Chain A
Amino acid sequence: MGGARTQGAPDGTRMSGSDSDALRPVSVRLERCGKTFADGTKALEPLDLEIAAGETAVFLGPSGCGKTTTLRLIAGLEMPDPGGRVLFDGVDVTALPVEKRNVGLVFQSYALFPNMDVRGNVAYGLRVRGMAKPEREKRVDEMLAMMRIEALAHRRIDQLSGGQRQRVALARALAVRPRALLLDEPLTALDAKLRDALRVEIDALLRRLGITAIYVTHDQAEAMALGDRIVVMEHGRVAQAGTPREIYQAPATRFVAEFIGTMNRLAGRAEAGRFVTAAGAIPWPEAPAGAREILFRPEAVRLSADGETPHLAGAVISAFFMGDHTRLFVAAGEGAPLVVEAAARRHFARGDRVGLVVDPAGLLTLKDSA
Chain B
Amino acid sequence: MARYRLFLLILPAAIVFTAFFLLPLAQLFVIGAGGKDGIAAYAAIVTDRNYRASLVATVLLSGGVTLATLIISGIAGVFLTRNRFPFRPAVTAMLTFPLAFPGVVIGFMVIMLAGRQGLVGDVTQWVFGDKLVFAYSMAGLFMGYVYFSIPRTILTVMASAEKLDPKLEEAARSLGASPLRVVWDVIIPGLMPAFVAAGAICFATAMGAFGTAFTLATRINVLPMVIYTEFTDQANIAMAAALSFILGAITWLVLAVARTAAGSSVAAAG
Contacts and interface: CB of A to CB of B under 8 A. Distances in A.
B176 A125 contact: yes
Interface stretch (B71-79, B167-175, B206-214, B239-247): B167-175
B183 interface: no
Given A109-B165, A113-B186, A75 B174 contact: yes
B270 A114 contact: yes
B66 to A, nearest CB: 22
Contacts of B269: 114-115
A365 interface: no
A97 B173 contact: yes
A5 interface: no
Given A99-B177, A99-B178, A105 B270 contact: no
Contact of A103 (B174, B181, B270): B174
A332 interface: no
Contacts of B175: 99, 124-125, 128, 172-173, 176
A168 to B, nearest CB: 11
A313 B34 CA distance: 105
Interface in A41-81: 75, 77
A104 B174 contact: yes
A283 to B, nearest CB: 55
B268 A99 contact: no
Interface residues of B, number: 21
B177 A128 contact: yes
B168 A111 contact: yes
A98 B268 contact: no
A209 B212 CA distance: 66
B162 interface: no
B170 A77 contact: yes
Contact of A99 (B168, B174, B189): B174
A171 to B, nearest CB: 12
A98 B171 CA distance: 9
Contacts of A245: none
Interface string A124-136: 1100110000000
Contacts of B165: 109, 111
Given A99-B178, A109-B165, A128-B175, A115 B170 contact: no
A10 to B, nearest CB: 13
A220 interface: no
B185 interface: yes
7 contacts: A77-B170, A98-B173, A99-B178, A111-B167, A114-B189, A114-B269, A128-B181
Interface of B: 165, 167-168, 170-178, 181, 185-186, 189-190, 192, 268-270
Interface of A: 12-13, 75, 77, 97-99, 101-105, 107, 109, 111-115, 124-125, 128-129, 156-158, 169, 172-173, 176
A-B pairs with the 5 shortest C-beta distances?
A158-B270, A125-B175, A115-B189, A111-B167, A105-B174
